[in-house]
Structure 1
Amino acid sequence: MADESLSEEDVEQEELSQQRKSHKDVAADMGSNGPEEDQSVPESINKPFQRKPRKKTSSVWNYMETFKANGVEGSRCKLCSQQFTKSESSSTSSMKRHLDKCLKAHGATLQPQLQFHKGLGNDVQFSAFKYDHAIIREKVSHYIMINELPFVHVESFMWNEIMKTATPLYQKITRGTLKGDCRTTYEIEKKKLVELFKSAQRINITTDMWTSTCQKLGYMVVTAHWIDENWKLNSRVINFCNIPPPHFGYVISDAVNKCLVDWKIQDKIGTVTVDNAKANDVAIKILKESFSIRNPSLPVEGKLFHVRCVSIGVLETMLLCSIVDIYGLCYIDY
């Protein structure tokens, strides 16, 4: 038991000193039985209830180093050795303002990183590397959508480890940010495709519907096919949407028409390929009447507007319609 004549503070100091001594004894025993290790007392023992310091995440620490001299803590610029006293709030604003000027003044002395990229032909071009987080976000959104990955993928531990290994300048992306980036990427790519459709003289459509066995919901996909100026067949999925029941002909025709108007290709439709369902017959009849009023110059007077889904020559039929419409080489009467 501690001496009662001692005050409470003295008792606490005595217990703390005994605790430090015991830790030193344990460290000495470990050092005698094995290789030499650091026998200093952990800082958590000296200050057991002090809040742990936060990790340094600011980019200024790439160019700053900490120091402690004459009981004063601070940071020092690695480029010009200017010192900054540590503030109570641990703010880095003053260091950021300094680095904005210091980096420009020492830019010529810093060795830039180089990046290589393929040029025209077999030429290889290189330029100074510059991390652009906006480009990273754009490429990640493409990666997620092409591989059909969940948004939370970018928050996984290994993803961030890989990106940090590729470049230490990588900044984390949250799933909320990624969701907005994917929407932005879709709108950008949609505008590009709309501009590409303007150069096509005739566009042919294939569409189909099915019901999900798990969700019990009906879905429809619409694909556009056209031949470009280089005589290459192009295909793009322009719509994938839920169609609520009942799946009558006028419901299908309305969904297809809205899709074509949204992509601004309603006046360029040559053929529509569907399966042999009665509802599709009604839908195509409604679409044909609507397109004939708006666009009287349907290929072969609209006789090939309705193409039934069979195993022979769907693409050949669309190609033939495009040739007839563009060059007027022949007239086919079916």
Structure 2
Amino acid sequence: MKQKLIDLETKKLVNADETTQTYTIPKLREFDHDLCRKELAKMVIVDDLLFAFVEREGFCAYCKVLNPQFVPPSRTTATKDCYALYIQKRNQLKDMFKNLKSRIFLTTDCWTSGQNIGYMCLTAHFVDDEWVLHKRIINFCPIVGHSGEFIGRIVEKCDS
């Protein structure tokens, strides 16, 4: 487990006569199981995969070929990893909002699904200190009505 792995890093060197020379540098690194689990959690979220995906035979065989040291987590552990990543990102966003010098504008989008369930998405829009416009979804929840008073109460509760 503590044995280092060899990575090959390719570098390009442009000579004075503008010819390009490519060379490869071997680089040692250690296997980081926690980093692999974190990246797996990101993959599950970004690619909208089922938590059970991590226990499927094909994925486990692929992981074994890719790096025999990586043991794929159970679906329960993958769920916990995704939730931990969510909490981390939520806290980063809260810290960013606390230190933000500009204002934050909120928009709501409400709709009713085909099963007659109402939903609301609360989005924050803001400009950072480098004048880059951002938008972040800060709440997504089922609702029972579309009235302004009801939506206002939900927005007020969205401080955690």
Same fold (TM over 0.5): yes
Residue 158 of structure 1 deviates from its aligned partner by 1.4
**Which letter maps to 1:157?**
E
Deviations 1:211-255 (A, max 9, x none): 110x32111001111111111111111111111x24333211100
SS in 1 for 2:30: coil
- TM (normalized to structure 2)? 0.81
Deviations 1:158-183 (A, max 9, x none): 11122111111111211111111111
SS in 2 for 1:247: coil
Residues 138 and 253 of structure 1, relative CA distance in 2, 3 Å threshold: same
> 2:5 aligned with 1:113, yes or no?
yes
Residue 155 of structure 1 deviates from its aligned partner by 1.0
> 2:156 aligned with 1:257, yes or no?
yes
> 2:115 aligned with 1:210, yes or no?
no
Deviations 1:274-312 (A, max 9, x none): xxxxxxxxxxxxxxxxxxxxxxxxxxxxxxxxxxxxxxx
1:83-98 counterparts in 2 under 5 A? none
Provide the alpha-carbon RMSD of the alignment.
Answer: 2.3
SS in 2 for 1:129: strand
Deviations 1:83-130 (A, max 9, x none): xxxxxxxxxxxxxxxxxxxx9xxxxxx8x4223579xxxxx9864232
Distance 1:159 1:193 in 2: 32
CA contact under 8 A between 2:112 and 2:118: conserved in structure 1? yes
Residue 199 of structure 1 deviates from its aligned partner by 2.8
Q: Which residue of 2 aligns with 1:165?
A: 65
1:44-83 counterparts in 2 under 5 A? none
**Which letter maps to 2:34?**
A
**Structure 1: segments with no counterpart, 5+ residues:** 1-58, 60-102, 104-109, 119-123, 263-334
Structure 1 residue runs of 4+, over 6 Å off? none
**Which letter maps to 1:225?**
H
Q: Which residue of 2 aligns with 1:248?
A: 147
Distance 2:32 2:97 in 1: 32
Q: Which has the larger radius of gyration?
A: 1
Q: Which residue of 2 aligns with 1:174?
A: 74
Bigger strand fraction: 2
Deviations 1:25-50 (A, max 9, x none): xxxxxxxxxxxxxxxxxxxxxxxxxx
Residues 126 and 205 of structure 1, relative CA distance in 2, 3 Å threshold: farther
SS in 1 for 2:73: coil
1:24-43 counterparts in 2 under 5 A? none
Distance 1:183 1:145 in 2: 10
Distance 1:125 1:254 in 2: 59
Distance 2:58 2:33 in 1: 19
